[in-house]
Amino acid sequence: MGIADLDIVRRQIQQAKRGDLIFVCLGLAALAVAISTFIALFGNMLNDGLARLGPEFFMNYGSRHADKAGILAAWVGTLCVMLVTAAVAVPLGIASGIYLEEYARKNLLTDLIEINISNLAGVPSIVYGLLGLGVFVYAFGFGKSILTAGLTLALLILPIIIVATREALRSVPGMIREGAFALGSTRWQTVAHHVMPAAMPGVLTGVILGLSRAIGETAPLIVIGTLTFITFLPPAPITPDFPFVSFAWVNSQFTVMPIQIYDWTSRPQAAFQANASTAGLVLVLMTLLMNGLAIWLRARLRKRLKW
């Protein structure tokens, strides 16, 4: 290689380094804009709603008087809906991801399923609300209940959990599977005892992120007819009589945090706007708590991996 060729190579390397530097600067600028926007919005909510944040705000029902209004029915309804959503979406999504990645044969049918799952992850949430209205409210007769809301949100986040599970399984080195098969393990033993423990940090991250999206959704719940103002709670899941467990609460009407925030922001009074800021602050803190839990679980599980 001559001197001229070496100069060309040096210039190409320098151009590549400049391109990397430009990309890093653009990425940092985008990150700074995103963080600044979040800090500005969060600071605005703190400024407007911190004064209303107290025990009575969590223990009072909605009211026509802003100073007496609270989010008791909203946060209880949110927890109930998320419980149904998690109970349906998490096992179904993880099982579907395991089947598609570890068991299903690669053919036209599985390719079609993968394409549809990827497309469903980008469908607007209001479409899932229309689906829930047509299927769960009218076809199955579940009514405007917690069960309908939980199933609708489960459909919404199901593609997210499936995709996250498959990506986590793909990140597991193939030598783990080959070693297990070489020692006589069946496919299920390989997946259950070797592949899934290694993939669990990524799977849990996908699950928590999916639930974090579901907890803030409003459009699907508006479509299925979620109430905006209620002064009652769902029936208690624990009863004094045998069998001491009741599922009557899944058929109860409800409201959730995003709907309560939407109702308050639609009112012109400044006091209700402050209540909406306080409720939004609580919802953001709940979401941050869920994401923090995902980060903690991922770090804890990764410490146990030996590869």
For the chain, what is the mean pLDDT? 85
**pLDDT band at 1; cut points 50, 70, 90:** low
- Average pLDDT (140-155) is 91
User: What span, in angstroms and rounded, lies between the C-alpha atoms of 70 and 73?
Assistant: 8
Crossing angle between the packed helical segments 196-215 and 146-170, to the nearest 10 degrees: 140
Residue linked to tokens 């919404």: 156
- Average pLDDT (129-141) is 90
21 HSE (CA, 13 A, CB side):
6
Domains of the chain and CATH, by start: 70-232+241-258+281-303 (1.10.3720.10)
Q: Is the pLDDT of residue 307 over 80?
A: no
pLDDT of residue 2: 60
Of the listed ranges 36-40, 61-65, 135-139, the one predicted with least confidence: 61-65
Q: Is the pLDDT of residue 190 over 60?
A: yes
Mind listing the pLDDT tens digit for each residue in 258-283?
888 888 888 888 888 888 888 888 88
Kindly report the backbone phi and psi dihedral angles of residue 98, in degrees, each rounded to the nearest multiple of 5, phi listed first. -65, -45
Name the more confident of 85 and 174.
85
Torsion-angle region of residue 230: left (phi > 0), alpha (psi -120 to 50) or beta?
beta
Q: Is the pLDDT of residue 306 over 60?
A: no
Name the more confident of 306 and 142.
142
Q: Is the pLDDT of residue 305 over 90?
A: no
C-alpha dihedral (245, 247, 253, 255), degrees to nearest 10: 70
User: What span, in angstroms and rounded, lies between the C-alpha atoms of 302 and 200?
Assistant: 9
Residue 221 class from Cβ within 10 Å (0-12 exposed, 13-18 middle, 19+ buried)? Answer: buried
Q: Which residues pair with 245 in a beta bridge?
A: 238
Whose CA is closest to 204, among 271, 112, 304, 116?
304
pLDDT of residue 92: 94
Mind listing the pLDDT tens digit for each residue in 52-109?
888 888 888 888 888 888 888 888 999 999 999 999 999 999 999 999 888 888 888 8
Q: Is the pLDDT of residue 117 over 70?
A: yes
- Average pLDDT (230-253) is 82
Dig out the tokens for 256 from the structure: 């959730």
Give percent above pLDDT 70 in the chain.
97
Kindly report the backbone phi and psi dihedral angles of residue 238, in degrees, each rounded to the nearest multiple of 5, phi listed first. -110, 130
DSSP 39-75: HHHHHHHHHHHGGG-SHHHHHPPP-SSGGG---HHHH
pLDDT of residue 212: 86
Mind listing the pLDDT tens digit for each residue in 206-229?
888 888 888 888 888 888 888 878
Whose CA is closest to 284, among 49, 42, 51?
42
pLDDT of residue 5: 65
- Average pLDDT (11-36) is 88
pLDDT of residue 3: 64
pLDDT of residue 4: 63
pLDDT of residue 147: 92
Residue 177, classed as helix, strand or coil, is helix
pTM: 0.84
Q: Which residues pair with 238 in a beta bridge?
A: 245
Whose CA is closest to 60, among 52, 286, 225?
52
- Average pLDDT (103-128) is 85
